[in-house]
Amino acid sequence: MAIFQRLRDVFYAVFFLVHLTATVLADAQLLFQRSLFPPAVVDFLNTYIKDYKDPLVGNNPVWFRSLLYFEVIAMTPFLVVGVFGALLGARWMRTPSIIYSTAVISMVVPMVGHLLFDDFKGFKVGPSTQEERLTLLALYGGFALVALIILLDNVFFRAAPASGSGYQGKIGETGKHSQKKRN
């Protein structure tokens, strides 16, 4: 069981790192002057827009930008700490992970609705086939799926810290077991 828990924590750390990278290098370009970013990163985002016809990134609607501001301002600090907290197997990560995953799911739902049901005929960028929509659904839905796994794991399968102090003992130990070892 400890091996599974360790692999799970490493998976979460990698996911947080991927989300952090996407936030800082791609999403932030939609909020700040693109001249602040290296040309290779700007070119990567332009290629993504061209190849995937992502209407959210390509058209950058106001409601989407408001979600990106929240992501950059509120989630970036969590993601930085989350990478290390997950690698440490820190039990204090439970509550922040629940908050993070709930926020991600709440943000992705309107994005998926927009991708699946909006008519993009008047848009500068948008999918023209069902296959293109489903590809975008897989990209955005993947984030929601992992966030749902993190949420369910932290709500139902992780023990809350015995005290507010955070990491105590080995990964997977409950507060009761940690107390016994100290006595």
Q: Helices H, strands E: what count in the chain?
A: 8, 0
Q: How many CA atoms lie within 13 A of 123 on its CB side?
A: 18
Question: How many C-beta atoms surround the C-beta of residue 36 within 10 A?
Answer: 10
Q: Angle 2-25/130-152 helices, nearest 10 degrees?
A: 130
49 close to 125: Cβ distance less than 8 angstroms: yes
Q: How big, in percent rounded to 5, are the helix, strand and coil portions of the chain? A: 75, 0, 25
Token pair recorded at residue 8: 């799970």
pLDDT of the chain along its 183 residues, tens only?
A: 789 999 999 999 999 999 999 999 999 999 999 999 999 999 999 999 999 999 999 999 999 999 999 999 999 999 999 999 999 999 999 999 999 999 999 999 999 999 999 999 989 999 999 999 999 999 999 999 999 999 999 999 887 766 655 555 555 555 554 455 544
Q: Would you call 160 helix, strand, or coil by DSSP?
A: coil
104 close to 27: Cβ distance less than 8 angstroms: no
pTM equals 0.84
Q: How many CA atoms lie within 13 A of 1 on its CB side?
A: 6
Q: Would you call 120 helix, strand, or coil by DSSP?
A: coil
Concatenating the DSSP letter of every residue in 109-129 gives HHHHHHHHH---TTSSS---S
